[in-house]
């Protein structure tokens, strides 16, 4: 190596570039292996995501990193990112769990954002899918009577109405919906169809590349043994299923969706009305505030009608939202009046309410903070 510092730096950088190229080649070889794993899983009808295998793999790589004197967290981050990419390449290889692939699947709302995502997933797996949308003629009764699955993926304010218009279905046909509220659609399906009924709520948007680790909420209706193949299919696609009572689901969604979406919407409206320069905010923001702007911008990049329907569907939450506004106003009054001790007292009270979750959330958010910080320089 040269004794000239500038030349040394150049040589070291060249060595780093060569090492990076080797890493890329290694990752490419690994990708070919994971593709082969996907084919084997399909033959065995095994799920895309196997939590035990991933946990074991991460644990082993962290141990290896420690032996090599490397940051265990760094290696875990790298491995998880590589694993996430491997799930994307394996998605098309997921096996079908139905034994009746000759019978069609009908998806009402199959050209909508979420409906189209599910239709693509079903077709990719080998199912014959027919979509019915608002401008389409309804399928013939005899055709619907051949269905193994009728899936309702229509706007939440139209779901119950359309369910009630369904003709009689085959006794073993699964009737399911994927709307964001569950009690009303589930009751409507149970009244309309005497066969197997299940309510589903995919807790992800249509932009996800695959269903690995994505949450799908399940609210059971009738004859679960007859729709188990559908739940197994979501598991094969990599999804995590969480079973819950329909009323409990809707209560939780009031907080997870209605309250959160409305708060985000109101903040975005306020920024616009105040004429705030978003570019300047980004240049001056901390990683945490950048993340908040990301969430606001993300909402306004999506479908306005969808969010209007989601918020309006959770009318039971409106009284709580109004109490939230009152609390917000009261806190502003106290701060404006200089009641610092009251603010601190309330802060401590809520901190106790969150308990150990505060520390957990602080730790979990660190990686998101780092990611937001990286994004600052990505577009420069």
Q: Where are the beta strands (DSSP E) in 7-135?
A: 105-108, 129-132
Query: Residue 176 gets which letter from DSSP?
Result: E
CATH number at residue 146: 3.40.50.720
Q: Where are the beta strands (DSSP E) in 184-257?
A: 197-202, 215-222, 240-243
Q: Considering the domain boundaries, does residue 57 fall inside one? A: yes
Token duo for residue 41: 């899983």
Q: Considering the domain boundaries, does residue 99 fall inside one? A: no
Cα Rg of the chain (Å, integer): 25
Q: Considering the domain boundaries, does residue 100 fall inside one? A: no
Q: Are residues 169 and 260 in the same domain?
A: no
Q: Is the pLDDT of residue 346 over 80?
A: yes
Query: Residue 348 gets which letter from DSSP?
Result: H
Q: Lowest-pLDDT range, 6-10, 88-92, 260-264, 375-379? A: 375-379
Average pLDDT over every residue of 332-341: 95
Q: Are residues 231 and 281 in the same domain?
A: no
Q: Are residues 184 and 271 in the same domain?
A: no
Q: Are residues 109 and 216 in the same domain?
A: yes
Predicted confidence at residue 220, as pLDDT, reads 98
8 A C-beta contact, residue 211 and residue 239? yes
Helix (H) or strand (E) holding 125: helix 113-125
Report helix, strand or coil for 353: helix
| Residue where a domain terminates, one of 211, 243, 275 | 243
Q: Are residues 160 and 236 in the same domain?
A: yes
**CA-angle at 35, arms to 34 and 39, nearest 5°:** 115
Q: What is the pLDDT of residues 60-69, one digit of tens each?
A: 999 999 999 9
Query: What is the rounded CA–CA span in Å between residue 148 and residue 103?
Result: 6
| Residue where a domain terminates, one of 93, 124, 159 | 93
Q: Are residues 302 and 371 in the same domain?
A: yes
Q: Output the DSSP codes for 293-312.
A: HHHHHHHHTS-HHHHHHHHH
Query: What is the rounded CA–CA span in Å between residue 164 and residue 158?
Result: 10
Q: Where are the beta strands (DSSP E) in 181-335?
A: 197-202, 215-222, 240-243
Average pLDDT over every residue of 162-190: 96
> What b/e sequence results for 35-59 when a residue is b if at least 16 CB atoms lie within 10 Å of its CB, and e otherwise?
eebbeebbeeebbbbeeeebeeebe
8 A C-beta contact, residue 320 and residue 253? no
**If you search the block for the tokens 């992800």, which residue do you land on?**
204
Question: Strands 215-222 and 197-202: what pairing?
Answer: antiparallel
Q: Lowest-pLDDT range, 107-111, 228-232, 316-320? A: 316-320
Q: Are residues 295 and 363 in the same domain?
A: yes
Q: Considering the domain boundaries, does residue 364 fall inside one? A: yes
Q: Considering the domain boundaries, does residue 120 fall inside one? A: yes
Q: Are residues 227 and 293 in the same domain?
A: no
Q: Considering the domain boundaries, does residue 295 fall inside one? A: yes
Q: Considering the domain boundaries, does residue 81 fall inside one? A: yes
Predicted confidence at residue 42, as pLDDT, reads 87
Report helix, strand or coil for 37: helix
Q: Are residues 230 and 320 in the same domain?
A: no
> What b/e sequence results for 200-214 when a residue is b if at least 16 CB atoms lie within 10 Å of its CB, and e otherwise?
bbbeeeeeeebbbbb
**If you search the block for the tokens 């959770």, which residue do you land on?**
314
Q: Considering the domain boundaries, does residue 367 fall inside one? A: yes
pTM of the model: 0.86
Predicted confidence at residue 95, as pLDDT, reads 84
8 A C-beta contact, residue 45 and residue 97? yes
Token duo for residue 3: 């004794």
Query: What is the rounded CA–CA span in Å between residue 278 and residue 109?
Result: 36
Q: What is the pLDDT of residues 4-55, one digit of tens each?
A: 888 999 999 999 999 999 999 999 999 999 999 989 988 898 898 999 999 9
Question: Which residues are CB-contacts of 218 (< 8 A; sequence separation ≥ 6)?
Answer: 198, 199, 200, 231, 241, 242, 243, 244
Q: Are residues 264 and 199 in the same domain?
A: no
**How many domains are contained in the chain?**
3
Domain that holds residue 275: 249-378
Q: Are residues 140 and 121 in the same domain?
A: yes
| Residue where a domain terminates, one of 93, 128, 156 | 93
In sequence order, which ranges of 45-93 are alpha helices (DSSP H)?
51-67, 72-90
Q: What is the pLDDT of residues 67-90, one digit of tens each?
A: 999 999 999 999 999 999 998 878
Q: In which band, very low, low, confident or very high, does the pLDDT at 1 lie, cut at 50, 70 and 90?
A: low
Q: Are residues 179 and 147 in the same domain?
A: yes
CATH number at residue 25: 1.20.59.10
Question: Which residues are CB-contacts of 44 (< 8 A; sequence separation ≥ 6)?
Answer: 95
């Amino acid at each position: 190596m040269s004794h000239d510092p500038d030349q040394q730096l150049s040589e070291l950088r060249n060595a780093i570039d060569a090492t990076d190229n080797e890493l890329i080649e290694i990752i490419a070889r690994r990708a070919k292996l994971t593709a082969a794993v996907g084919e084997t899983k399909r033959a065995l009808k095994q799920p895309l995501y196997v939590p035990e295998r991933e946990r074991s793999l991460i644990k082993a790589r962290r141990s290896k990193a420690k032996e090599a004197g490397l940051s265990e967290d760094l290696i875990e981050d790298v491995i998880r990112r590589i694993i996430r990419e491997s799930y994307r390449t394996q998605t098309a290889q997921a096996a079908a769990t139905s034994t009746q692939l000759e019978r069609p699947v009908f998806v009402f709302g199959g050209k909508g954002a979420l409906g189209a995502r599910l239709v693509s997933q079903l077709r990719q797996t080998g199912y014959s899918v027919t979509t019915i949308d608002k401008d389409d003629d309804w399928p013939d009764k005899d055709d619907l009577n051949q269905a193994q699955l009728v899936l309702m993926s229509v706007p939440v304010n139209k779901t119950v109405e359309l369910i009630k218009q369904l003709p009689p279905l085959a006794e073993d046909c699964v009737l399911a919906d994927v709307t964001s509220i569950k009690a009303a659609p589930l009751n409507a399906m149970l009244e309309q169809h005497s066969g197997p009924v299940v309510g589903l709520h995919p807790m992800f948007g249509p932009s996800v590349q695959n269903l690995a680790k994505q949450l799908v909420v399940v609210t059971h209706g009738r004859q679960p043994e007859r729709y188990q193949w559908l739940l197994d299919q979501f598991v094969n696609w990599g999804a995590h299923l969480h079973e819950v009572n329909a009323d409990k689901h809707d209560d939780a969604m009031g907080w997870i969706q209605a309250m959160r979406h409305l708060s985000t919407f109101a903040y975005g409206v306020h920024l616009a009305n105040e004429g705030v320069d978003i570019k300047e905010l980004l240049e001056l923001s901390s990683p945490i505030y950048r993340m908040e702007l990301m969430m606001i911008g993300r909402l306004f990049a999506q479908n306005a009608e969808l969010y209007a329907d989601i918020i309006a569907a959770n009318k039971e939450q409106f009284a709580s939202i109004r109490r939230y506004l009152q609390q917000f106003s009261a806190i502003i009054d106290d701060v404006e009046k200089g009641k610092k001790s009251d603010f601190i007292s309330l802060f401590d009270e809520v901190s106790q309410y969150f308990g150990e979750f505060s520390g957990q959330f602080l730790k979990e958010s660190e990686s998101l903070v780092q990611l937001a910080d990286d994004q600052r320089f990505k577009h420069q």
